[in-house]
């Protein structure tokens, strides 16, 4: 596999994140590498895989999470720079 894409799903509240992660993992062949509590109720989950799978997973996750709570943001980075992995343990 080429360099994996990085996808992020950020929600207000853990319940919405859990619902979003469940939908994301069921919708595409991605790996959830972790989650982080940002503060003020914001939580973010991280996914890796090929670009199309990560995009599909994050979109499905955001849709499901929005049914339960508030989605603060989503982001897909197709080929993150190697130094991005230094920012957190979520890149493996």
Radius of gyration of the chain (CA): 12
* Reported confidence tier of residue 83, pLDDT bands at 50, 70, 90: confident
User: Quick check: pTM over 0.85?
Assistant: yes
Q: Is the pLDDT of residue 90 over 70?
A: no
Q: Is the pLDDT of residue 19 over 70?
A: yes
The closest of 68, 72, 67, 47 to 57, measured between CA atoms, is 47
Provide the 3-class DSSP secondary structure of residue 1.
Answer: coil
Domain 5-91 has CATH 3.30.70.1710: yes
Mean pLDDT over each residue of the chain, to the nearest integer: 92
Provide the 3-class DSSP secondary structure of residue 60.
Answer: helix
Please, are residues 73 and 48 in contact by the beta-carbon 8 Å criterion?
no
């Amino acid at each position: 596999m080429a360099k994996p894409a990085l996808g992020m799903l950020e929600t207000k509240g853990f319940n919405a994140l859990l619902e979003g992660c469940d939908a994301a993992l069921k919708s595409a062949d991605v790996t959830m590498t972790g989650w982080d509590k940002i503060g003020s109720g914001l939580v973010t989950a991280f996914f890796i895989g090929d670009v199309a799978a990560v995009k599909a997973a994050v979109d499905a996750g955001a849709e499901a999470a929005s049914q339960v709570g508030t989605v603060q943001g989503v982001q897909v980075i197709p080929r993150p720079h190697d130094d991005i992995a230094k920012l957190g343990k979520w890149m493996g």
